[in-house]
Amino acid sequence: MTSATSTRLPGQRGDSTPRLARPGRRRRVRRPNWPLFAFAFPALALYLVFFIFPTLQAFQFATSNWDGTSDTYDVVGAKNFVNLLTNDDRFVSALTNNLKFLLVVVAFQSVFALLFAMFLVKNTRTSILLRALYFFPTVLSSVAVGFIWSFVYNSPDGLLNQTLRVIGLGGLQQAWLGSPQWTIVFVGFAQVWAHTGQMLVVFVAGLQQIPRELYEAAETDGASRWARFRYVTWPMVAPATAIVVAYTTVQSFKAFDIIGALTSFDDFKTQILTTQIYLTAFQNARFGYAAAESILLVLLIVVITWTQRRLVRASRVEE
């Protein structure tokens, strides 16, 4: 008795022949699930209300003489910007101090953070403990840091002057926050102490991503420590360096609270752009003029950070 054989079409279960696509059949397009976008609406609304709208309104006020309280104001066009760039000695002084502060903080904070990170890159117990100790000042508020360093710099009985007397260098004692040329530099060292540990963590993460084989190959070729740093460490850690430099730059322009804790806001020796904007707006009631200063500050930060990124990238390519 002959059994009937069942025939299976291609694509049915039990057949290994792949199913052929129908000619002219279009792929199904997935439509966006619009209800999911509703979850982003609260964050977007907050961003619009507290960032986008105030930013646009700052441009509006920057072209006016609004005093911050009146219902009306006069439109003055570009007069505020012209006056800032050509006839405002206080703004120029604040800008000069801010650039000094920037150079001190970026240079010393980046160098110290990279140096400490190279010594603490291994995940030993001692290294982890030291990283935590160096990171601790970052947890403190800038106001607390300012008060701590006010005791260090206090004259004549501050910690720094007392230490100089004990080690026989009493002739170097001085009023550390009383010099017109150096006060902003000493305030910068307080900022460096507070945030070096934070940047150390970034450099440690960058150093730990460098393949060990590169160092082994350099040692095999007889490269010195400086050559290994120049041709291996520095090019490979350049992305982390760009992050540290950019973040430190923004910190330098936002050092409002530490300056207020160490010195007075109206002290011309330590006046930076943020404190100058504060005094213009809330002490002199010139909110329109302060808005123009704020816009110039943002543009300055953008230009400086962009230039820094280009320089770091160029140095990496040259190496």
pLDDT tens digit string along 212-254? 888 888 888 888 888 888 888 888 888 888 889 888 988 898 8
Cα 301 off chain centre by: 10
| Tokens standing for residue 70 | 């009146």
pLDDT for residue 106:
92
Phi, psi for residue 193 in degrees, rounded to 5? -60, -35
Using the Cα atoms of residue 284, residue 286, residue 292 and residue 298 in order, give the sign of their dihedral: positive
* pTM assigned to the model: 0.79
Which residues, other chains included, contact 97 with Cβ-Cβ below 8 Å and sequence gap of 6+? 184, 269, 270, 271, 272
pLDDT for residue 319:
53
In the chain the domains, ranked by start, together with CATH numbers, are 89-283+293-318 (1.10.3720.10)
Confidence of residue 194 (pLDDT cuts 50, 70, 90): very high
| Tokens standing for residue 49 | 């209300």
Rounded Cα gap, residues 33 and 42, in angstroms: 17
Expressed in angstroms, the distance from the first to the final Cα of the chain is 85
Residue 283 has pLDDT above 80, yes or no: yes
Please check whether residue 186 is in contact with residue 259, taking contact to mean a CB–CB distance below 8 angstroms: no
Which spans in the chain are helix H?
Answer: 34-37, 41-47, 53-62, 79-86, 89-119, 125-139, 142-153, 159-166, 183-207, 212-220, 225-228, 234-236, 238-253, 256-262, 273-278, 287-318
Residue with the bigger pLDDT between 94 and 6: it is 94
Low-confidence winner among 29-43, 75-89, 249-263, 290-304 (lowest mean pLDDT): 29-43
Rounded Cα gap, residues 196 and 105, in angstroms: 9
The CA-based angle 252-80-71, given to 5 degrees, is: 105
Computed on alpha carbons and rounded to an integer, the radius of gyration of the chain in Å comes to 30
pLDDT for residue 23:
56
Return the percentage of the chain with pLDDT > 90, whole number.
26
